[in-house]
Structure 1
Amino acid sequence: MAKIPATRIRTEYKEGVLNNRLIAGNPLRKEVLASTAGHTIELAHFAPHQRFALDLWRRNEFGTTAWRVIVGRTIAPGEYGQKLPGVHPAAVPLMDVSGATRARAALRWLRDKSDEIDELTEAELVSADMFFNNAPMKRIRTYITAQGGA
């Protein structure tokens, strides 16, 4: 039986400092690489052409320094993809939103869609990407408030 080449996604949690987590997708398997009090590293293995969503957050003593939400599609051998944080070898980004307020809004949008990530069309994801990356900040804040956030 031939082995299915898998895209590997590394997630990491470090209490109060880092939270790179998989928020949607159905990996073939997951493994814990390291786990100590307040620090966990996991590896999720995905078959080709599967969708996933990542929430990548980092802070320092002054607050949030980076926040990014990515929805991607894994690739098969021979296909081209883009290098994404924690994703090996690469994937096709379908939605990529950066910045604390914009990422928070994208997370709220994905919150109710995480179970149906495979049913979302690429047009819906591109439209969401365009909105969350390009809408005026006032409109993004209004969206967050309307979704029940602060």
Structure 2
Amino acid sequence: MHPPPQLPVASVTDRGETLLTRVSLAYVERRINLYLRFGRPLRELRLDRWRRCASFAPGAVFCRVRWESNDYGTTRWQLMLLQACTPGERMQRIAGIRPGARLLLCAEGEARVQAVLQRIDAIEALVIDPASAAPAYWHTLGNRLAACQPLPVYNAERHAAWLRGEEQR
């Protein structure tokens, strides 16, 4: 028997610098749009006319949306809500994200992606940055989507409770 595969672990460089999480982004008209819906990258590097790379600090929460099509129409809708990991934490390997990240929510298909985008819009309407919303909310939202259950609402009271809990840490 083979040992189970090891998950990648965020690390620190030889000089003691924390590695940043790098997210690949792309746009080719009518073919692919891989973009950030929200998140605060520390820097963004334009690689060429079609590709960019955003770098996030450990612990940062961000949302990446992927839309793809061909000559016959849309072939893929995907939304991932992710958290950059801190050194020593385990993470998932995700294509286009190096070295990896913690997956908070993944939605596949147009209807599910649109449902999550509506929840993000509702959070922004409360003047709350979705990147600062409680990670437990994103997990619950993803689980409810997967189970085809009614989606929870994020409100100011829930956000205040989350912030109080963070202050006590």
The answer to whether the superposition gives a TM-score over 0.5 is: yes
Identity, % of aligned pairs?
26
Deviations 1:45-97, CA, capped at 9 Å, x for gaps = 11111101011111111211111111110012322111123111100010111
| Corresponding position: 1:110 with 2:120 | yes
Letter in 2 for 1:28: L
CA-CA distance at 1:121 after TM superposition = 1.2
More strand by share: 1
Match of 1:127 in 2: 140
| Corresponding position: 1:25 with 2:39 | yes
> 5+ residue gaps in structure 2?
1-14, 152-169
- Tell me the distance in 1 between the aligned counterparts of 2:19 and 2:88: 11
Letter in 2 for 1:18: I
Q: Supply the RMSD in Å over aligned alpha carbons.
A: 2.0
Q: Higher Cα Rg: structure 1 or 2?
A: 2
Distance 1:112 1:31, change over 3 A: farther
8 Å contact kept, 2:18–2:87: no
Three-state SS of the structure 1 residue aligned to 2:112 is: helix
- Tell me the distance in 1 between the aligned counterparts of 2:104 and 2:67: 19
Letter in 1 for 2:19: P
8 Å contact kept, 1:29–1:45: yes
Find the partner of 2:51 among 33, 37, 41: 41
CA-CA distance at 1:125 after TM superposition = 0.8
8 Å contact kept, 1:102–1:133: no
8 Å contact kept, 2:84–2:102: yes
Three-state SS of the structure 2 residue aligned to 1:108 is: helix
Match of 1:51 in 2: 61
8 Å contact kept, 1:64–1:100: no
Match of 1:3 in 2: 17
Match of 2:77 in 1: 67
Match of 2:11 in 1: none
Provide TM-score, normalisation by structure 2: 0.72
Q: Which 4+ residue blocks in structure 1 deviate beyond 2 angstroms? A: 1-4, 111-115, 131-134
Provide TM-score, normalisation by structure 1: 0.80
